[in-house]
Structure 1
């Protein structure tokens, strides 16, 4: 019976039991999120390979969390232009691996990036990005934009990675980079996570992480799962997410996913996969 339920959960996400209603017209040339004062937009890109999340404020400033795999470079350029990005203030790399840091060099040259943030465990002397490298240690707190703060909750030496949270008003985003139940146990013991609204699931929803214990400690309202070719989310992870009544947004199914918020409320805006295909994404 459990195997049947797990398979059903996987099919609901991958195939789509009910297609989301597009909130933006199918023919897309440019997206204006119309951010007002004290509004923020966090967009999770539907890249075919890797993770990239765009954070924008109403002043036109932009920060990118991860850059996807180099095989998604053309998609990433199109998406950044689609959302009106001409300059990227900072790039935050949560894991020094191809699916997260594959496009840093060309982004620096094309979008005038001045600062790149990496885990303090990064010691590769061959890195020669045309931008300043900043090394974040566990406990580090930074302000991305006025009122938007990040905190490094955990640095994983063996993975050259870090788990980071971002706080804005009543909202807290948790960017998990490594799927490991033992690391999640450590995180739960030393960090209060109950105020997390949105969880970015680690490693494309690998079954190595996103444990029931973590979900109970975080109790998020929304979970974001990124896409990777020929790799589907673990049926067990999907079952745990659905059993906790979390709204699951899988980029392969929903396309680009934007959380638009002020300090009090947020809404989820999706741009369907069909729309992205029409624009060549």
Structure 2
């Protein structure tokens, strides 16, 4: 049974540039109360990046998007008033996940890098000595920030991380790859989730009907890869299970504001619809 989720359209200090018909939001205040958490799927043109914030301050960034979206990433972090980043969690070696890590270090203080051993070996650029490196392992449980825990479900041979974010009784499943056995294992666990981050940018060889029926997500998020088209069969399966699908690169950044046992969905339309 799907739970009710409040949907909000957040319209804050917006200035329109008639030359390119894009909305430029200078600053966003999510008005987080004590112990409230915001998880934002950033609207990068290419690649994946997810921002975690608390009212008490501090930010965690999961992946950094593609270098093709470098300025967009910096603009979005500044728009959400990010000053320092306590942790960066890289979950895949592909450039669409890691492309802006070095750029990030030029703009923000980053204290810690969470990374699997497989991915660590594949990074081309050296990691600065001032950044603490924490190796992520299969089946490990991590505290990303107060009240936000990550359970590592699987790390592939290539280093792709599938993990579950937990905020109290609410769960977000972040699929790292399309793998039939992995989906079957998660489905057989009996766990349900509120949110699914679809694996491999919506490619058609994953996100099976059986998997979706078992985890029963309320909403799904699909990021964009310049060389991968979202599969119509995946979208059909999501539709058949009454799962609302959000595309940040089309509709703007998507923020989930968690409080107690509910969350609101907030969209920020920062670009033309693509």
* TM-score, L = length of structure 1: 0.85
CA spacing shift, 1:204–1:125, aligned 2, 3 Å: closer
Contact 1:63 1:91 in 2 (8 A): yes
Contact 2:8 2:264 in 1 (8 A): no
Given the alignment of the two structures, is residue 23 of structure 1 paired with residue 22 of structure 2, yes or no? no
Aligned partner of 1:16 in structure 2 is none
Distance (whole Å) between structure 2 residues aligned to residue 114 and residue 177 of structure 1: 24
Is the counterpart of residue 165 in structure 1 residue 160 in structure 2? no
SS of equivalent to 1:167: strand
2:168 matched to 1:181?
no
Structure 2 equivalent of residue 276 of structure 1: 271
Counterpart position of 1:15: none
Count, aligned residues: 254
Alpha-carbon spacing, 1:40–1:21, altered in 2? closer, same or farther (3 Å): closer
Q: Which runs of 5+ in 2 are unaligned?
A: 1-6, 16-24
Question: Structure 1, unaligned stretches of length 5 or more?
Answer: 1-19
**Could you say which residue in structure 1 is the equivalent of 2:224?**
227
Q: Report the 3-state secondary structure (helix = DSSP H, G, I; strand = E; otherwise coil) of the residue aligned with 2:68.
A: helix
Q: CA deviation at 1:180?
A: 2.3
Quote the Cα distance in structure 1 between the aligned partners of 2:8 and 2:228. 25
1:61-210 alignment runs, 5 A limit: 61-122=58-119, 123-124=121-122, 127-130=125-128, 131-157=131-157, 159-189=158-188, 191-194=189-192, 196-210=193-207
CA contact (8 A) 1:68 1:98 kept: yes
Are 2:211 and 1:214 aligned? yes
- Choose between structure 1 and 2: higher strand proportion: 2
What are the superposed Cα offsets for residues 46-97 of structure 1, whole Å, 9 maximum, x if unpaired? 1111000000011121000110011111100000000000111111111111
TM-score (norm 2): 0.87
Asked if structure 1 preserves the Cα contact closer than 8 Å seen for 2:89 and 2:115, the reply is: yes
- Greater fraction of residues in helix: 1
- Check the 8 A contact 1:104/1:129 in 2, yes or no: no
| Residues 268 and 140 of structure 1, relative CA distance in 2, 3 Å threshold | same
CA-atom RMSD, angstroms? Answer: 2.0
1:277 Cα shift? 5.2
**Once the 2 structures are TM-superposed, how far is the Cα of residue 186 of structure 1 from its aligned partner?**
3.4
Structure 2: how far apart are the matches of 1:224 and 1:165?
A: 14
